[in-house]
Amino acid sequence: MTAEAPAGDIYIRCRACGFTSPPSSMSYVRSADGTGIDWSQRVGATCMICHAAGSPVPADAMALDDAMTCPRCQAAAPCPAGAARVRCPGCGLFLVGHRLTVRQQEELRAAEARASAALRTRWLLATQAGGGRTRPGRPRGQE
């Protein structure tokens, strides 16, 4: 059985940017007992910070050995120590990890800004290649 999941309860250390966060998407085969990931099969994950796609191995999956409190809903959010982004299980807010140093927070902002700029560039190129249409059947300015 192949599963496509937002994988909110697993945290992956991205090999491209080095940050730990829940993946924005993940594909994997469930273990035979259905309780986890079958790491003998190919696992795919996309980093929520830099958007790099990769194939994590068990060593990239970080233990939930820490927690932080969500400032919005006060829920406890289990996470790995040093996680860059933490998903609140109560309200879904993505928090900045509370153990990041000021320098790591600046690096996180820079990595997210680079990824955002790359996505924006791809979107602009795609809309230009598509004849200036931003949605199927609707000319630009009439979205």
SS (H, E, C) 8-51: CCCEEECCCCCCEECEEEEEEEECCCCCCECCCCCCEEEECCCC
What does the pLDDT read at residue 22?
Answer: 96
136 within domain boundaries = no
Predicted confidence (pLDDT) per residue in 31-78, tens digit: 898 888 999 999 999 999 999 999 999 999 999 999 999 999 999 999
In-domain check, residue 114: no
Asked whether residue 143 is assigned to any structural domain, the reply reads: no
Return the SS3 of 107.
helix
Structural domain boundaries, residue 27: 2-103
CA torsion 46→23→27→89, rounded to 10°? -160
Global pTM reads: 0.80
- Within a domain: residue 45? yes
Per the domain annotation, does 134 fall within a domain?
Answer: no
Give percent of the chain with pLDDT exceeding 90: 76
Q: What total number of domains does the chain contain?
A: 1
Q: Is residue 116 part of a domain?
A: no
Please indicate, yes or no, if residue 130 is contained in any of the structural domains: no
Asked if the structure places residue 127 within a domain, the reply is no
Q: What is the mean pLDDT of residues 6-23?
A: 87
